[in-house]
Amino acid sequence: MNKFAHLFLGVFGLFGASWLAFVAYPYITFAGMQPNKDSNTGAVAPQGNPGTTEQGARVFAANGCVYCHSQFVRGENEGADIDRGWGKRRTVARDYMFDHYVFLGNSRLGADLANIGVRQTDPQWFYRLLYDPRSVHPESVMPSFRYLFRTQKISGQASADALKLNGPGAPRSGYEIVPTEEGKAIVAYLISLKKNYALPEAPEPAE
């Protein structure tokens, strides 16, 4: 191999082929995806999130949640994901077609979040988990995110989303612990994570 031209063409060809297969092909295919319209009911799925969750997705990204939480459910023959209640069916490409930021993840020190908004709908549950994970899951290795909350003096009525804490962790009387804007955004994002509609390419497995 005495000519750099051969070297260049060979590497260019091989790597270019992988670029076509794993960059160009998925980019084009998934950009042209259409939501599914049910022929009987006329329901369209997925609906997509109404724009408000993007800030939350950025908080999710910036704080590295993806390093412990995945966001995809494998089929019934590929793992215990469905048995664990992480979803009723496997997730497919169409589930993510409206998502601006997709965090599939490949670590599960924590639970899968593809359908966390189906399992938990109460913001208070998320606030408690983020503030003190071990009050929800005693053996959890999840870090607590107290910096997503602030303590403030109660003026007039207590805030609706103030944390309900008792015991040594509770704030002094007259004060309350409330989520910051970032805290609210990430919880709104997490609650929006639902893939509980039917898609023909991913039927729910029989019980």
Partner 1 sequence: MNQPAIPETIPLDNLPSGRDDREGTGYAVRVPVLVFLVSAVFWLLVSSCLGLLVSTECHRPGSLTIFSNLPWLTFGRVFPAFQNALVYGWLSTAGMGVAIWLVSQLCNTAHRTGYLPVLSGVTWNIGVGVGILSVLGGGGNGRPLLDFPFHAAFLLLLGFLFFGIWAVVVIWNRESGSVYVSEWYIFAALLCFAWSFTTANIVLNLPLSSIGPAPGVSQGAIHAWYEKSLFGLWLAPLALAVAYYIIPKSLEKPIYSYKLALLGFWAWIGCAAFSGMTVFIGGPFPVWMVTMGIVANVLALIPVLAVAANFHMTTRSAVERGGSSLVFRFVALGAMMFTFYGFEAATNSLRKIGQFTEFTLVILGQNHLFLYGFCSLILFGAIYYLLPRLLDRRIIFEGIAEFHFWLSVVGFALLWFDLTMGGLIQGFGLQDAKVSMDAIGDLLKPFLMIQSVAALIIFAANVTFAITVGLILLLPGRVRNRSDVPETSMERTPEVTVA
| 99 binds partner 1, rule: CB under 8 A | yes
| 34 binds partner 1, rule: CB under 8 A | no
Residue numbers 148-187 binding partner 1 by CB under 8 A: none
Q: How far is 32 from 199, CA to CA, in rounded Å?
A: 17
| 133 binds partner 1, rule: CB under 8 A | yes
CB of 76 to partner 1, least distance (A): 10
Find the angle CA(83)-CA(122)-CA(202) to the nearest 5 degrees. 35
Q: How far is 98 from 182, CA to CA, in rounded Å?
A: 22
DSSP for 83-102 reads TTTS-SS---GGGGTT-SS-
| 92 binds partner 1, rule: CB under 8 A | yes
Residue 1 CB contacts under 8 Å (≥ 6 apart), including other chains: 7
Q: How far is CA 69 from the centre of its chain?
A: 8
Instruction: Choose the stretch contacting partner 1; rule: CB under 8 A; options: 14-22, 36-44, 115-123, 158-166.
Output: 14-22
Considering only residues 37, 52, 67, 203, which one is a binding residue for partner 1 as defined by CB under 8 A? 67
For partner 1, the closer of residues 31 and 160 by Cβ is 31
CB of 196 to partner 1, least distance (A): 15
| 91 binds partner 1, rule: CB under 8 A | yes
* Amino acid (one-letter) located at 97: M
Considering only residues 36, 124, 140, 192, which one is a binding residue for partner 1 as defined by CB under 8 A? 140
CB of 160 to partner 1, least distance (A): 24
Residue carrying structure tokens 């459910």: 73
For partner 1, the closer of residues 160 and 206 by Cβ is 206
Q: How far is 176 from 55, CA to CA, in rounded Å?
A: 25
Q: How far is 57 from 96, CA to CA, in rounded Å?
A: 13
Considering only residues 53, 96, 115, 193, which one is a binding residue for partner 1 as defined by CB under 8 A? 96
| 203 binds partner 1, rule: CB under 8 A | no
Q: How far is 175 from 50, CA to CA, in rounded Å?
A: 34
Considering only residues 145, 179, 188, 189, which one is a binding residue for partner 1 as defined by CB under 8 A? 145
CB of 110 to partner 1, least distance (A): 7
| Closest among 59, 35, 68 to 195, alpha carbons compared | 35
| 108 binds partner 1, rule: CB under 8 A | yes
